[in-house]
Every structure is written in C-alpha cells, then in structure tokens.
Chains A and B, each alone.
Chain A
Amino acid sequence: MSTMSHGTAASHGAAVCGLGTRVEPFVFATAQYESGDWDSAPMVPANVIDSIARYTTIPVRPQGVVASLSSEAIFQYPLLYLTGHLPVRFTTREAEVLRTYLARGGLLFVDDHNHDVDGAFHKTVREEIRRVAGPLVPLPNSHELYRCFFVFENGPPTTSHEMNGWGDNLVHEQLDAVLRDGRIVVLYSNKDYSSEWSFHPDNKRFLSVDNTKFAVNLVVYALTR
C-alpha cells in the first residue's frame, strides 16, 4: 500500500512538476531587514524545504530565497520567515511594505532566536509587529494550524532549546498571532524553532521523531487558507 501510494504520489509529483503543465513551485523566503542579524538561521530554509518534499507533493524550489523587507520583492513570496537575536526596528519603508504585504494576504512567521522574553529581539519585534499589524494575541492550541496536515494535540511542539532551559528558561505553551477575520497574518514564536531547525537536513535520519513537521503544517496553512 505504501509503495502504491508512493508510486501514485511519484506520478502525481511528476505530473505536477513536469514540464507539460509548469505548475509554479513554492518558494521559501527569508526576510532581510536592516537592523539586526536577519541571517542568524541560514539552515532553516533548507530544512523546511526538505520537509515539504518529504511529506507532501507540493512542488517546491530546492533553494530558498532572501527577500528584502524594504523592497517590493517580498510581494512575490506570500509566506515570509523572519528571525534574529538583535533588536529589530523596521524603517518607515519596511513598515509600509510590510503593512501592505499583510493587507494583501501575506503571512509573516517570526521566531525569536534568543528564546528570551526579556531579550531585545522579543521586545522590539513585538512592538514593531504591533505598529505594523496590530496586537499579538495568544493562539489557542485548538487552532486549525495545528491540525491542517499533521496533528499536534498539545499545540506547538516543544523544542529542545526551551526544554533545556536556554534563554528565558520557560516552556512556552502557545504561539502568538495577529489574526484578521480568524486568519493568521503574523505568527510569532518564542520557542526558538530557528535553533531547532538549524541543522543539515541529511542529519534528519538520526532523529526518531522529525522535529520539523510543524514547518509542514505552517506551509500547508499558508498555501491553503
């Protein structure tokens, strides 16, 4: 059964990715902003792309891109990933572009690489998000984000970094989000997924449980909701 589904899936993949119909692939984009270290997690895109390819038939470009927040290039990528350690301050242009991006239907995923609620990234980026999109509210663990592909019963999966007491030494039970009409436009994570997913995708085979499955949920949510 699994081979048959594998085969069908492979043919699906071929029909979908083949040259005959030229379906547009999904591109994972990392946001580049001016203040701070936007490139603190360079392995995350590869890992997420790897997970998408492993678990779904969604066509995906093998390499991620970097899109600057101050240019209109981010409009080409309706899902955007932003992380860092240092304080984040959007320039006027970046704030304006981001506001337009979110109003038109984009989704921004922000992850605190410090995993520290007392840290500069957390405080500054939350203020910037509030100025651009609105206040962040806790996302209930029954939200469809946790059930749209893989099912996460207890909400967002915990990361080893927060379990090990790095950062603020707290286990965050929920993610925060800015919701518009029930849809997530900004998803904010304190759980340090940037560190969790910062390894070479080939090393996934050493893990008994793949900790990047939540990324697949995020991408499926962004592509379909």
Chain B
Amino acid sequence: MTAPRGASVAAHPRRALERVLRAVAVGTLLVCLWLSLSDATGTASVAHALRGDTAFWSEPSGARVRDSLRARLMHLSSEETVGLSMALPGVPAQSARALLGAWPAASRPIRWHDATGARGLALSVTPVPGPVGGLDVRAAVTDTGAVVLRDGGGVLDSLQGAGRVAWRLASATGTVRVQRGASTARVPVPMRVAARRVRLIAAPGWEAKFVTAALEEQGWTVDGALRITGTASVTLGAPQRLDTAGYAVVVMLDSAALDGTAEDGAGIARFVRQGGGVVLAGDALRAPTVAAIRPARATEVRRGIAGALLTDRPRGGLDAWEVVLDPSAVVLEQEASDHGHTEPLVMARRVNAGRVVASVYRQTWRWRMEGSDEGLAAHRQWWHALVSAAAGVSVAPTGAVASYPGDAAPYADLVARIGSPLAELRNRTQAPGDSADLPSRPMSLGPSLRDRLAGRRELLFIIAAIALLGEWASRRLRGAL
C-alpha cells in the first residue's frame, strides 16, 4: 500500500531516501552522458587513461604496455587528438619509456601524475684503464638517504649519501645497480679495454727501477731507455715513436735530458694534445720542457717526516715539492699542513684532449723499500692509480641512446621522453627555446576533474547501479510497487 501523495517527506524518511537515491542515479547517468558528449566534440583533451600497477610498468620487455596502448589505438583510428594520461606508480622499464616517448614525439598530448616516489638518481660506470681492470662507479643523488650499491653477485655497499658518491671496484659482474628509495639506476658492466703501453723518461736510479717494477708488476708494459753513458743505455721494452695509438701515458720522473730523436718537450706536448696522458712525478715538475703543460710549478722541497713511512699515512715520510697551482689545475688529493692551508699532493690538468697528472713526491721508492709490509703493494697500487688517472678511456657510456640517459638515470630519462609530471607543470610556464631534438611538451590541459572522471567510468556506472537498485529494493521491501 502506498502512502498518499500529499504526505510530507519528513514523515516518511524512507521515501526521502529513495528520492535521494533516484536523484543520484539520474545525476550519474547525466554525468556519463556529458562525458561521452564532451569527448566526441574533438577539443584537445586527454582521452585515454593508461593504468597499471608497478609490475605492469616495470616489465622489462614492455609487452603489456605495448598491448595496452595498441588496444586503445584500435578503437580510435580516426581521432586526431588522442592523448594519454596516466598515474605512474613506479618508473617504467626502458622499453615502456621508449613506447611512451613515441607519443609526444608524434605530437600527441601526454600527461602523467608522479606517484613513483622516485627522484633524481644517476649512475655512471667507467672502466679503469690498465691491464688489471677495475671500475670507477659514480652516483649522483638529489637528496640524502640510504644508497645501496649492488651488482650481479649481491650487495656491495650501502651508505648514507647526498650529492655525489663514488666507489672504485676491483671487479663487478652482470649489472651494476644503485638504489635509492624507490628508484634504481642500472648500468651493465662495461667491457675491459685493451691497455696501451707506458713510456718512461727517467735517469737510471732507484726511482726509475722501482717505478718500472711497480708498473710492470701491475701489468703495464713499460718502454723507455735509461741512459748510462752517452752511447750506452739500458732499453726497457721496445720503445717506438710516441703516439697515442701505442702509448697511453708518458711517465716522467726527472728532467733527464730528452733525446732529440725519440722524443722531446715538443713531442710530449703534441702527444698530450692528441689525447695522451702524462704523469709528472717529483723532479719532473721542475723540468723546463714540460712547463707549458704542467698543472703546477714546484718551488722548494719539503722534507718528509721521519718515521712516517711506517705509519698508516706513509706518504708523509717522503720528500715532496711545494707547488704553486696553475689556474686550470684540479687537485685530486691534498692534505692539511701545519700552516693552516692545504698542501696539494696530486694535481691534474686537461690540455686539449689529453690529461697531465702531477705528483709532488720525490723518491717514492723509499715507500716500497723503507715502508711497512703493506708498502710494497700500496706503492704499486698508487702508481697504477696515477697512471690510470692520466690514461684515456675510449669507451662510450653504455645504456644511453641518442641523448637519453636510459637506465643509468631512469627518472631523468622518463622526464626527457614524456615531459615533467603534472604537478610541476602547473607551477611553471612552458620554457621557451627547447632544443629541437627533445620531444615537444604536452598540449593544453583540461580541468583535472574531467580527467579523473573520465578515468573512472566504471565507478560512475557502479554508483548509478547501486543507487537504482537501492531505491528499487527499498520500495519493494516497503511493499510499494
């Protein structure tokens, strides 16, 4: 039995509820109608939402993303301004990023919400030149936090870092990964490069003997000639014409007279400009022939601290030059001195394509002979580090395609391909003068509410259905028709 029409709504709260539900259902259907009509008008707006969980986006082959995009494209063959919107729960895999990057490259709008939780992280892995190998790993992080370094064999290190962090690895297998929070940067371990030779320019003496020994024991091939008299000399290896094809580094230990036929100051300078490396050690910093390329000028000798060779800072026991740095020189290693300023120990400088590395120490052989038991290996490794700091590496960074960093900096790669996420773009205007080979920015935006509603059509249907069903059930249970 239905109640009379004239009864007030307040007396029948149930009926009021039914009316509310009916209104909700009708309203939802109207919204759906409006959405579908407004999509069909063809204004530049985002049409499709691409949704998926982390597994969807981070699948390495990108097959699911590709299939999903293809499915949407099938339905919209005639539409001109099909855009794409998504909320990314994690940084997509490289193939997925490449697929998405095709969208703006084809001048289609694309916008995305950043729910990745990832921030800037970049990784670079460079092989250390030399016969022994090794890797120089550098990572840049934008904020402080735990940074974990991994390779194919497991976790290598974890530290709290900000800005730049760097490691020297003796070896690594598989892929080197750095993880910071939700972001992971990956670079495959690069192949070892064949080491070129080292040319030694020195007078015969203990320093020449032990530096050659240290380098050869690390696997370098050392060429040179030690002049004993005007006509007699001891030849090391098989010295040839100094050029960058055969030689990686020239090591000068003192200003022994340079033979005019084999090489001289001009020859060394030419070698450096073409990409070779020079290590100037100790007394070679005073040589006038290399004055043009050296990173520092030596002034006077600072005596080593007696007994320091046996401590944990053995190089303090070696005699060293005090130097005046060239303006373009970079200090690789320095130590605090008693006078309040820092004393540079190892300096480097770029000269055209080459590098000149200088060390202030004289007679480093004393570190090997008079130092502690670790001195032998430490001396060897230090000289290897000096020579490999000067040697060139002709290996391109791996994992990068064109100007995109790829997996080495995944977030940056994503932004480079499809642009910044929505929250950032709302805060700033489009920057003029973007470079031509970067994809164009997404096109004009619509109201975010419509985007959200468009992505939630199923939700609207459910709301409408529940409202209608609820109203119907309530009426039936009441006994009304």
Contact = CB atoms under 8 A, between A and B. Distances in A.
Interface of A: 5, 8-9, 12, 15-16, 20-24, 26, 55-59, 72, 75-76, 78, 100-101, 103-106, 148-149, 220, 222-225
A24 B229 contact: no
B383 interface: no
Nearest to B228: A56
Nearest to A221: B234
27 contacts: A12-B230, A12-B257, A16-B203, A16-B256, A16-B257, A23-B256, A23-B283, A24-B206, A26-B205, A26-B206, A57-B229, A57-B230, A75-B369, A75-B370, A76-B366, A76-B370, A78-B369, A100-B373, A101-B369, A103-B376, A104-B368, A105-B368, A223-B205, A223-B206, A223-B226, A224-B204, A225-B209
Given A57-B229, A224-B208, A224-B234, A23 B254 contact: yes
Given A5-B231, A220-B234, A104 B369 contact: yes
B210 interface: yes
Contacts of A101: 369
Nearest to A222: B209
B368 A58 contact: no
Given A104-B375, A105-B213, A223-B206, 16 more contacts: A8-B230, A15-B257, A21-B286, A23-B203, A24-B205, A24-B207, A24-B362, A24-B363, A55-B229, A57-B229, A58-B228, A75-B370, A76-B369, A76-B370, A78-B369, A223-B208
A179 to B, nearest CB: 16
Contacts of A76: 366, 369-370
B226 A224 contact: yes
Interface in B224-273: 226-232, 234, 254-257
A20 B255 CA distance: 10
Interface string B347-378: 00000000000000011011011100101100
Interface string B179-219: 00000000000000000000000011111111001000000
B480 to A, nearest CB: 105
Given A56-B229, A72-B370, A104-B376, A21 B257 contact: no
A76 B370 CA distance: 7
Given A23-B203, A23-B283, A58-B204, A220 B228 contact: yes
A173 B228 CA distance: 28
Contact of B369 (A106, A148, A224): A106
Nearest to A58: B204
Give the 10 A-B residue pairs with the shortest CB-CB distance, closest first: A75-B370, A224-B234, A5-B230, A75-B369, A9-B230, A56-B228, A223-B204, A21-B255, A104-B369, A8-B230
B364 to A, nearest CB: 12
Contacts of B203: 16, 23
A22 B226 contact: no
Interface residues of B, number: 35
A104 to B, nearest CB: 5
A122 B208 CA distance: 34
Contacts of B365: 78
Contacts of A55: 229
Contacts of A21: 254-255, 283, 286-287
A12 B258 CA distance: 11
A44 B362 CA distance: 30
B294 to A, nearest CB: 15
Interface string B268-287: 00000000000000010011
Contacts of B287: 21
Nearest to B363: A24
Nearest to A216: B228
From A12, A24, A100, A101, name the one whose CB has the most chain B CB atoms within 10 angstroms: A24
A65 to B, nearest CB: 14
A59 B362 CA distance: 16
Contacts of A149: 228, 232
A22 B283 contact: yes
A9 B255 contact: no
A89 B13 CA distance: 116
B15 to A, nearest CB: 103
Contacts of B368: 104-105
B35 to A, nearest CB: 83
Contacts of A224: 204, 208-209, 226, 234
B208 A105 contact: no
A96 to B, nearest CB: 11
B185 to A, nearest CB: 43
A78 B229 contact: no
Nearest to B286: A21
Interface string B366-399: 1011100101100000000000000000000000
Contacts of B210: 105
Contacts of A58: 204-205, 228
Contacts of B286: 20-21
Contacts of A9: 229-230
Nearest to A73: B370
Nearest to A8: B230
Contacts of B363: 24
Contacts of A75: 366, 369-370
Interface-central residue, A8, A23, A59, by most chain B CB under 10 Å: A23
Nearest to A25: B205
A148 B234 contact: yes
A78 B206 contact: yes
Contacts of B213: 105
